Chains A and B, each alone.
Chain A
Amino acid sequence: MHNSQAYTIIDNIRAKWVRHQVYSSLLLSAAVALPFIFTATWQAPVLVLGLSMLTFLYARSPWKLQQEEVARYLNQTFPDMEDSAALLLKSPETLSMLEKLQTEKITPVLHSLQLPRTFYRPLRQAATVLGGSVLLCAIWGIFLTSVIVPSNQQITLPVTGNETATIPPGISKVKVSIHPPAYTGKAVRTQAGLNIIAEDSAIIRWELHTSGDVKELALWFNDSTRLLPAPDKDSTTWTATRTIRKSGFYEVRVNKVRSQLYQLQMKPDQPPVIRMLSPEPYTTIDFGASAKVNVRAALTDDYGIRQAQMHLTIASGNGESVRFKEQQLSFDNNFSAHAPAYQLARLLNLTTLGLKPGDELYFYITTTDTRWQQSRSDVYIVTLPDTARLFSMDGLVNGVNFKPEYFRSQRQIILDAEQLLKDRDSLGKEKFNQRSNELGTDQKLLRLRYGKFLGEENESNIGDARVAAEEGHDHDHGHDHEEAAADPKDFGNAARILDEFTDKHDNAEDATFLDPAVKQQLRATLTEMWKSELQLRMYKPQDALPFAYKALRLLKDLQQQSRVYVAKTGVKTTPLKPEKRLTGELDKILPAIKKETLRKTDPQSAVRIALSVIDGLRAGEKSGDPAILQQATQLLAARAAASPAAFLSALEAMQRIQRNQFTGRDLRQAQQGLQQMLDTPSLLPQQTNGAAAENLPQRYFKNLKTGSKP
C-alpha cells in the first residue's frame, strides 16, 4: 500500500475542497433565492434554492477532483514539497529507492503545512455575495413596507414635507425665504423645499441654484401667471419674489421641462373672536335686586388685538315717547402689547348709567385686530321692569275669569312686605320676625292654591290653625264655603257630602284644565313663591321681594295670555247667502299660465364618472375615458388651487393617469382626492323598473278585469 498517513492528509485536503465547493454553492443559491421571498408563496424561494443549488453543483462538479490534482496543487503552492507530492499517492512497493527517500523527506513537511488563504477564497466570495443579497433584500423590504400601502388602508396625504419634497431636475439647491407681514410679528424664515405655507400677504423669495446649463427658468402658477426669476451673471443662481394673496400651487420649468406641482398654501388671518362669558343674552333685574351687571368677555385672535370697545344704548320710556341714548365705553385693559388673547371685565352700574325702572339697556362689544379686521358680538339686553305696571288693574278690569283674587294675594304679600320693611324701626325685632313669618305662611297658602292647578298634594302644617282652615277651603272652590256648609238645608244632601269627602285631584277636568305651556309657567311661578317664602321665613323680607315680584310678573303674563285667547273667540261673521255665491260673470277672467323649462345638471358629474373609470383601471382595463378624466382633472385643479395641501397629490396622480404613466398608488391617490371633493348626491324620486314585456301578472290582471277567458 501507499504511504497511508500522507495519503490521508491529501485525501482530507481533497474532501475539504469538495466540502467548501458544496458550501459555497449553497451560499450562492441562497443569495439567488433570497429575493424570491417577496413573492406571495413560500414555494417559490424553496424551488429556486433547489434549482440553483443543482445548477451550481453541476457546473462545478467538485467530486470530480482527483487526488493527483490535489498533489499538483500542493506542488504549485508549496515549494517545500519539491514537486514530489504525487509520489505520496503511489503505493510504496512501486517506488524506486530515490523516490522512497524523497517521500520520507517531504512527509514531515506535509504534516506541518498550512493551507493558504487563497484556498478559502471561493467560500469567502460566496459569503460576500450572500451578504450583498441580504442587504439588497433588506433595503427593498424596507422600501416596500414604507411606500406600498395595503389596499384596504387609507392613504395619508403628505401634509407639507418641506424638507423631503423633491427638487426638480436641473436644480441643485433651493432656498425659499418667507417674509411674513410686519403686523404678524413673525420672523423671516427660510426653507430648502418648494412646498410653501405662508401667512396672508407674506412676501416669498425663491433662490434657485441650477447645476447645469440653464437658459430659461420660470415659475408657473395655477392661475396661469408666470414668474421669471432673474439670473445672476453666470446664470447659476436665479431669484424671484412674489406676494402671496391666495392659496394655489405652482411648478418650476427648467429649460421648458415641467417639474412636479408644489403647494403654495396661504394661512388666512382670521378676524378676532369675541366670547361673552356673562351676562346672559337677556337679563332681567327684578326690583330690589342689585342694579349692577358684570360684563365679562374673552377676545382671541391669531396674531394680535389692537383695541376693544363696548357700545351701550339705553332705551327709556314707552309707547311713542321712547328715547335712546348711546354711549361708548372702553375697557381697562391695555392693548398696546397687541397680545393674541385678552380677558375683558367691566362692571356696569345701571343707576349711574341713568337707568330707571322700565328702561332697557342694549350693549355689544367690538374689537379690531392688528390687520384692522373688526368683529362685533351679539347684542345683549338688560331690562329693569317697571314695578308700577304690575300694580295696574288694566288686565283685570277687562273681565277675565282667571281667579283674580289669587293675583291680588301675591300683590298683597308684596305690599305687606314693603310695609313691614318701612315699619321695621318702629316694630321691634320680635314683632318684625313674627309678621315676616306670617307673611311666609300667606305666601305658602298662595302657593298651595296654585299647586292645586298642577295636581300637587297639599302639605299639612301641623299647629297652624289657618292652614287647617285653608285645607277645608280646598275641597270646594269658594270662600263662602263655611257659611254654606253650615246651611241647614244641606242636611242629608248626599252630593254635598260626597263632594266634601271625595279627592278630586285626578278629575279629568283638572287634568286638561290648563294647557302645557300655562302649566309650565305656573310651575315657574310656584318656584318663585317657594323662594320668596323661604326668605320671609328667614325674616328677610328685603331678600324675598325680588322673588315675590318675579312671581307676580309671571302671574301677570299668565293673565295676559288668557286674555288674548278670550278676545279672539267672540267674532261673528255675516251669514252667507249660498244662492248668490259663484254666480259672477267670469268670461273675461283669464287665469295665469306659468311656463318654464329647467335643466338640472350635476356640476360634479364628471368627477363621479371618473371615480368609476379609475376603478376600471384598477381592475385592469387598458385605458379610461380621456374626456371624462380631462374634465375631472379640471375640477380637481380648481379644488387644489383652493386647498393645495389636501388635493395637490391627487391632482398630480390624475395628471399621470391622463398621460398613461401611472402606478397603482396613483390610482388610489386620485380616487381618494376625487372622493374627498364630492358631495353626497341628493335624493330624488325614481320610478322602478317593471317587466319588459307583458308578463304573467299583467295578463292575469287584464283577464281579471275583462272576465274573459284566454
Chain B
Amino acid sequence: MSWNYIVPVCALLLLLVLAAAEVRRPRKSRLAARLLATTIAVVCAVLLILPLSSGKKMIVPDTATGIVKPVEKKGIIACNWPRQLVTGHEWIVQGTYRNTLHQKVWLRLSAFDTELDSLQVPAAEAAAFTLRATPLHRGRAVYRITAMAGSDTLEQQQLPLEVMPLTPMAILFLAVSPDFDNRFLADWLSAEGNAVAMRTGVSRDKYATRFSNFPQQSLEQLSPALLDKFDVVIADAAAVTAATRQYLERAGIGLILKGDSAGTHPRPASLWLPGNRPLGSLLLDPATALRVAHDALPLVQDSLRQTYAAVSLAGAGKLVRTQVFNTYAWLLGGQAGAYRRYWSALLEAAARKKQPAGKIIVSPLFPQIHQPMEVQLETKAAPLLRAGNTRLYPEQDPFLPHSWKARYWPAKTGWQLLQSDSVMQWTYIYNQDEWRNMQNITSSLHTAATAPLQTNTPLSRWWWIIPLFAALAFLWWEQKL
C-alpha cells in the first residue's frame, strides 16, 4: 500500500485515541478547545509528512491584447541532444545559455565525474553552445551539464543517454574492373562484422566474387530477391543496369555510384564533411568535381567548396554520387580516422532505413514525475503496452490504424522501461525541479490549446509547522492553568 494511504490512516487512529483520552479526562472545561487543538496538531503533522501542492499559473496572457508574455528565463534556456546513440558516433549537445551575470560562465559536459568538453559563455549574453563527446560506455547512463561561475555551480542538469550496440549492414559491390578502393573498403567492412558481397568484372561475362559474412551464391543475375538482402549497393556506373537501379529505387536500397574518370591532373585537396568536420587531404582533379543539382545535398567538399560527393533522393531510396576513388590512400597513410569518417558519412547517407517491428515515441521531451506523459506506439502487432509493471491501455488513431496512444503518469524518477510485444524503449523521467526552463517550453507547446498553464509547486512546510506548534503549545499551556 502506498505511503499516501498509510499516513492518513495512522493519523486517523492517532486522532481517535487522543480524542478519547481528552473526553475521558476529568477536567471538562475547555474540552472543545482541546479537541480542536488536537485535531489541528494531527492534521498539520500529516500535512508535514505529505506535502500539499498548489497549482500556479505560470504564463498569464495580457488581458487587453491576449498576448502571452514570455517569462524572462536565465541559465540553460534551450537544450537538446540525441537520447539514443550508436556506439562510436559523436554525441552532440546543443542549446542556448542566457548569462545574466556580470562574469563569464563555464558550461561543462561531464560523464562519470570526468569532464568531456567545456565552453565559455561571455558575461551578460545569451549564446548558443555545442558540446561534443564520444561516449565510452554502452547501455544507459546519465551525463551532466554544469554551468559554473568561478567555483559556484549555477545549474546542473542531467542528460540521459542510451548507447546502442552496432547492428551490421549488408553491402553489395558491383565493379567492372578490379579496384583498390573497393578491396580496401570490403576488407574494412567485413573485418568489422558487416556482410559484404562483391562482383568484380575480370573479363567478358566473367566475374571474380567475394563473400564475407555472407552465404555464397551466384551474383551474375541481380534478381530482386538477391538485391533485397542488401542495404547499400556500391557500384561503378557501368556495372549497374537501368533495371537494377529502378528496383533499388523502388525498394529504398541505397546506391553509391562512382564516377567514370579520376581526372588527369590530380592535385592535393583538403576535404570536409558537412558541419566543418575535416577529413584530410587526397589527390583529386578539380575538373572531375560534381555539379550539384538543386535536389542534391553535398556530402564531401574541398576548401574551395567543390563537391566530390553528394546525396540525392532516388525513389524511395538514396543515391550517392562520388568522385573520390583513392580513399585507400588514407588507410595506407595511417589516417584511418578520416577513412572511417568518410565512408561512415557516405554509407549512412545511402543506407536503406531499418524497419523496426515497432516504435515508441514519448512526449513531452522532458517527462516529469507525477505529470502526464503521452506514449505513442507504432506497431502492426497487438498494442500491448507496459510501462514498468503498469499495463497501459492505448487508444487507436482514427486515421492511422497502426498508431496507438496512451497516457501515463510516471510514479518514479530515473530510467523507465516502456515496452510492447514488438519493441522496448527506455525513457528517463525527470524530477520536478530539473529542466525547469525546458518543462515550461514543452508544456506551453503542448497544453496551450487545452488547459491553462499550471505548474504544481509544493507549499512551504512552515504553513503546517506554525499551527502545529501553536496547537501543541496550547495543549501544554492549558494543563498549567
Q: Do A and B come from one complex?
A: yes
Contacts of A428 in B (CB 8 A): none
Segment at the interface with B among A27-35, A152-160, A219-227: A152-160
> How many residues on B have C-beta within 8 angstroms of the other chain's C-beta atoms?
79
Is the CB–CB distance between B88 and A596 below 8 Å?
Answer: no
| Contact digits for B13-25, partner A, Cβ 8 Å, 1 yes 0 no | 0000000000000
Residue of A nearest to B148 (CB): A152
User: Which residue from B142, B146, B202, B211 sits with its C-beta under 8 Å from A619?
Assistant: B142
B87 at the interface (CB under 8 A from A): yes
A695 at the interface (CB under 8 A from B): yes
Separation in Å of the A619 CB from the closest CB of chain B? 5
Separation in Å of the A648 CB from the closest CB of chain B? 18
Separation in Å of the A622 CB from the closest CB of chain B? 13
B residues 359-394 touching A (CB-CB < 8 Å): 359, 378-380
A residues 652-710 touching B (CB-CB < 8 Å): 668, 671-672, 675, 678, 680-696, 698, 701, 705
Given A582-B203, A685-B343 in contact, is the A675-B138 Cβ separation under 8 Å?
Answer: no
Is the CB–CB distance between B353 and A687 below 8 Å?
Answer: yes
| Contact digits for A428-452, partner B, Cβ 8 Å, 1 yes 0 no | 0000000000000000000000000
Separation in Å of the B283 CB from the closest CB of chain A? 15
Contacts of A592 in B (CB 8 A): 208-209
Is the CB–CB distance between A680 and B402 below 8 Å?
Answer: no
Contacts of B167 in A (CB 8 A): 686-687
CA distance A84 to B353 in the complex (A): 107
User: Which residue from A582, A593, A678, A684 sits with its C-beta under 8 Å from B208?
Assistant: A593
User: Which residue from A614, A681, A690 sits with its C-beta under 8 Å from B136?
Assistant: A681
Is the CB–CB distance between A692 and B351 below 8 Å?
Answer: no
Given A609-B138, A680-B136, A705-B250 in contact, is the A586-B205 Cβ separation under 8 Å?
Answer: yes
Is the CB–CB distance between A692 and B216 below 8 Å?
Answer: no
Is the CB–CB distance between B414 and A682 below 8 Å?
Answer: no
B residues 104-129 touching A (CB-CB < 8 Å): 108, 110-115
| Contact digits for A28-50, partner B, Cβ 8 Å, 1 yes 0 no | 00000000000000010001001
Interface centre among A597, A686, A698, by most B CB within 10 Å?
A686
B residues 242-300 touching A (CB-CB < 8 Å): 250
B30 at the interface (CB under 8 A from A): no
B residues 182-230 touching A (CB-CB < 8 Å): 190-194, 202-213, 216
Is the CB–CB distance between B208 and A591 below 8 Å?
Answer: yes
Is the CB–CB distance between A615 and B114 below 8 Å?
Answer: no
Is the CB–CB distance between A687 and B209 below 8 Å?
Answer: no
Contacts of A151 in B (CB 8 A): 113
Contacts of B316 in A (CB 8 A): 698, 701
Contacts of A599 in B (CB 8 A): 193
Is the CB–CB distance between A612 and B351 below 8 Å?
Answer: no
A605 at the interface (CB under 8 A from B): yes
Separation in Å of the A678 CB from the closest CB of chain B? 4
Interface centre among A43, A597, A681, A692, by most B CB within 10 Å?
A692
B356 at the interface (CB under 8 A from A): yes
CA distance A691 to B352 in the complex (A): 12
CA distance A47 to B466 in the complex (A): 11
Contacts of A689 in B (CB 8 A): 353-354, 356, 359
CA distance A181 to B362 in the complex (A): 67
A142 at the interface (CB under 8 A from B): no
Contacts of A580 in B (CB 8 A): none
Is the CB–CB distance between A692 and B402 below 8 Å?
Answer: yes
Contacts of A609 in B (CB 8 A): 137-139
Separation in Å of the A146 CB from the closest CB of chain B? 18
CA distance A615 to B138 in the complex (A): 11
B141 at the interface (CB under 8 A from A): yes
Is the CB–CB distance between A615 and B348 below 8 Å?
Answer: no
CA distance A228 to B113 in the complex (A): 41
Is the CB–CB distance between A586 and B206 below 8 Å?
Answer: yes
CA distance A487 to B479 in the complex (A): 141
CA distance A681 to B139 in the complex (A): 14
Is the CB–CB distance between A597 and B213 below 8 Å?
Answer: yes
Contacts of B108 in A (CB 8 A): 152
Contacts of B87 in A (CB 8 A): 608, 681
CA distance A592 to B211 in the complex (A): 11
Is the CB–CB distance between A683 and B340 below 8 Å?
Answer: yes
Contacts of A58 in B (CB 8 A): 476
Interface centre among A593, A683, A694, by most B CB within 10 Å?
A683
CA distance A693 to B422 in the complex (A): 12
CA distance A684 to B423 in the complex (A): 24
Contacts of A686 in B (CB 8 A): 86, 89, 166-167, 169, 344, 348, 351
Residue of B nearest to A696 (CB): B400
Given A582-B204, A671-B113, A685-B347 in contact, is the A612-B139 Cβ separation under 8 Å?
Answer: yes
A319 at the interface (CB under 8 A from B): no
Is the CB–CB distance between A681 and B211 below 8 Å?
Answer: no
Separation in Å of the B211 CB from the closest CB of chain A? 5
CA distance A696 to B341 in the complex (A): 33
CA distance A681 to B167 in the complex (A): 14
Given A683-B340, A688-B354 in contact, is the A672-B402 Cβ separation under 8 Å?
Answer: no
Contacts of B112 in A (CB 8 A): 611, 614-615, 668, 671-672, 675
CA distance A368 to B351 in the complex (A): 58
| Contact digits for A603-647, partner B, Cβ 8 Å, 1 yes 0 no | 001001101111110011000000000000000000000000000
Contacts of A595 in B (CB 8 A): 210-212, 216
B134 at the interface (CB under 8 A from A): yes
Separation in Å of the B470 CB from the closest CB of chain A? 13
- Seed contacts A154-B114, A690-B354; 5 additional CB < 8 Å A-B pairs: A593-B208, A683-B337, A684-B192, A692-B358, A692-B378
Q: List 5 A-B contacts (CB under 8 A).
A: A152-B146, A595-B216, A611-B112, A687-B231, A688-B354
Binding site for A on B (CB under 8 A): 86-89, 108, 110-115, 134, 136-142, 144, 146, 153, 156, 163, 166-167, 169, 190-194, 202-213, 216, 231, 250, 315-316, 337, 340-341, 343-344, 346-348, 351-359, 378-380, 400, 402, 414-415, 422-423, 461, 465, 469, 476
7 closest A-B pairs by CB = A690-B353, A612-B139, A600-B193, A685-B347, A611-B137, A693-B402, A692-B359
